[in-house]
Structures are given as structure tokens and as C-alpha cells.
Copies of this chain bind each other. A is one copy, B any other.
Amino acid sequence: MTSGADVAVLGASGFAGALAARLIDRHPFFELEAITSRSDAGRRLDELYPHHRVEMVLDAYDADELGAIDAAIVAYPHGAAAAVVAELHERGVKVVDLSADFRLRDVATYEANYVEHPHPELIAEAVYGLPERYRDAIARASIVACPGCFPTAAVLALWPLSADHVVIDAKTGVSGAGRAATEKTHFVSVDENIKPYGVGKHRHTPEIEQELGTPVTFVPHLLPIDRGILETIYARLEPGVDEATVAAVMQAAYADSPFVRLTGNALPEIKHVAHTNFCDIGWRVNPATRQLVMVSCIDNLVKGAAGQAVQNFNVAFGFDEGMGLN
């Protein structure tokens, strides 16, 4: 175990970056050394987010002025993150990147869904930052590509199992849409409503398919709540797999993972994971049809972003995985 680390959070004025700053600020072994923002440089973070109580000023990003940092969380939009990650990587800074820039191993898939990749040469350096699956690789990685919020819940539910005909019906709170004020995030658009979006083209689909190795149908919906994702997952199991088999496989997969809670038949709900780093997973199996129904819940900003970033750093620096996350 190392004795601590100095961390910068870049892009700390967005929802995920601000929460990452707060978590680092209160972490027993990390020191929050700098926070930056492209839109709000010069303002105090506790002016933007009083409830986070991080009493620091946001700076404009300048790699030379970050100080002697050991690690950084990059909370930039897709496409904009890669350049910063590359610059920090070159200086020997361990990076957790919250964007999609280094999640997809296939550059063509990335470019079909996002933009031209600014640093394809670094993709091979990056590890997909799902500690429950890639703990050892994360411990050795210099770039950790933190999974998307929807893929986190879906992949944790399904990777231990073998299933096809996968349908993922996802419901998310509005904080997942970010801090930008748009018609989509206007209170009047969201309140007393639910709507699907991005059907057939949401960019988390290839990420989930990469991790599961099977095609999926993925439909996200916007809920009138602030925080949390609930995914209802439908799939067909292999012959002979019943509820007990699923339970055994899942328990084996997560025996050493403190943040995955298996609820078995008692299906989870968002309220039980909101504002925590837990992923709750429950399931039902219809033996006649081999139909699996799984429900997987996370807080999109914690386990789906900032909490998972800290969990990755805990693994990377050899701390207890849950340090600063309870």
C-alpha cells in the first residue's frame, strides 16, 4: 500500500466531475490538489455545488500548473478528453478517464459512434475500469477508461452468465443528461413523464456488446428523478440453467466484490442504491421458457461515474477498494 496520492479533477464543474472532487476531497488517503473547468474557471466549486462543500477555486486547465500530482480524474466530454489524457499520461500521471474515449478497444467502432479518435495509439494502454471484472489489470494500468453508466449496470448483471436474445430496458434519472440546460432537461419536459430516447443508436450499445460479446437491444428512458439507473434485462438462458444456477454463478463472480449486492428473487429498486456505490442485482427465471429477467440498479453519478473512478484509484493505489466510498 502506498501512503497517499495527490489528485487533480479536470472538468470539475459538471455533475460527475464535481462529485469526483468531493469524493477525493474527503478521501482519507487522497489529497485534492487541483480542480479545473473549461466553463467556470475562477468560480468556487462550493458556489456551484453548495451541498458538496468543496472549498476550492476552479482553475483553467494547464498541465504545467497542476502541481506535482500523482493521478487525475478527467471528466471531459467524449472527444475532448483524449488530448488531456495523452498529455497527463506522458507526464507519468495515472489517469481515470470518465469519457468514452478509451472504452472501446476497436477504433473503428469508436469512430463510427463518436468522432475521429485523437489518440488511437493509447487505446492499447487503457484498461476498462470495471474493478469487479478487471481488478488485476486496473492495478497495473496507467489509463483506466471508466465504463459508461448504462454499461456498468448491464455488464455487471450479465457478464458472468451465458445468454442470448438480450434486451436491456434502461431507466435513468436526469442527472445522467448532464448539467447543460436544454429542452430535454427542462423541468416541464421531464416532470410527470417518461420517454425513450436514442433508440437503435445509443452509443452505449457497442460498449455493452464489446463487454458481453453478444448483440443486445438497448433502449434507455428518461425518468422524472434526479439520480439512479434501473435496468430491466431480458435474456434467454442456455438449456438447463435455472434460478439456482444463476444464483451460484453470480455468487461466485462477486464473492470478493463489496459493491455488488445480490438480491436474488427480491428485485432491487433505485431508492436502495441512490447516493451509494452499490450495484444491486436480482433475477427471476421462467424454467419453461428459459427466460431470464434481471434487474440491475446503480446510482449513475456514483457507481456509474465518480464513485467508480475512486474505486478504480483505490485498486490502482493498493488501498481497500471501498475506501472513501461508504
Is A234's CB under 8 angstroms from B221's CB? no
Q: Does A258 contact B (CB under 8 A)?
A: no
**Cβ contact within 8 Å between A269 and B194:** yes
Name which of A187, A215, A232, A276 has the most chain B CB atoms within 10 A of its CB.
A187
Taken residue by residue from 277 to 295, chain A's Cβ proximity to chain B (1 for < 8 Å, 0 otherwise) reads as 0000000101001010101
Residues from chain B with a CB closer than 8 A to the CB of A286 are 200, 217
Of listed A188, A270, A272, A276, residue having the most chain B CB within 10 A: A188
Q: Is B217 touching A188 in the complex (CB atoms < 8 A)?
A: no
Contact among B165, B181, B190, B226 with A182 in the assembled complex (CB-CB below 8 Å): B181
The CA-CA distance from A167 to B217 in the complex, in Å, is 12
CB pair B174 A188 closer than 8 Å? yes
Is A244 at the interface (CB under 8 A from chain B)? no
Indicate whether A121 reaches chain B with its CB closer than 8 angstroms. Answer: no
Copies held by the complex: 4
**Minimum C-beta distance from A66 to chain B (A):** 28
Contact A174 B187 (CB under 8 A): yes
Measured as residues with beta carbon below 8 angstroms from the partner, the interface class of chain A is: 35 or more
Question: In whole angstroms, how far apart are the Cα atoms of A284 and B195 in the complex?
Answer: 15
Q: A167-B167, A224-B225, A232-B219 are in contact. Are A15 and B194 (CB under 8 A)?
A: no
A239 contacts B by Cβ under 8 Å: no
- As a 0/1 sequence over residues 207 to 240 of chain A, the CB contacts with chain B under 8 angstroms (1 = contact) are 0000000010101010111111010101000000
Contact A289–B215 (Cβ < 8 Å): yes
What's the nearest-Cβ distance from chain B to residue A247, in Å? 16
Q: In the complex, what distance in Å separates the CA atom of A269 from the CA atom of B193? A: 7
Nearest residue (CB) in B for A184 is B181
What are the residues of chain B within 8 A of A274 when measuring CB–CB? 51, 192
Residues of B within 8 A of A303 (CB): none
**Residues from 165 to 181 in A contacting B, C-beta threshold 8 Å:** 165, 167, 169, 171, 173-175, 179, 181
From 274 to 326 in chain A, residues with beta carbon under 8 angstroms from any chain B beta carbon are: 274-276, 284, 286, 289, 291, 293, 295
Residues of B within 8 A of A192 (CB): 173, 191-192, 225-228, 270-271, 274
A286 CB, min distance to chain B CBs, angstroms: 6
**29 pairs, CB–CB < 8 Å, chain A vs chain B:** A51-B276, A167-B169, A169-B169, A169-B232, A169-B234, A173-B192, A174-B191, A175-B188, A181-B182, A181-B185, A185-B186, A186-B187, A187-B189, A191-B192, A191-B226, A192-B225, A192-B271, A193-B225, A193-B269, A194-B269, A195-B267, A196-B267, A196-B269, A199-B267, A199-B284, A199-B293, A200-B293, A221-B230, A223-B223
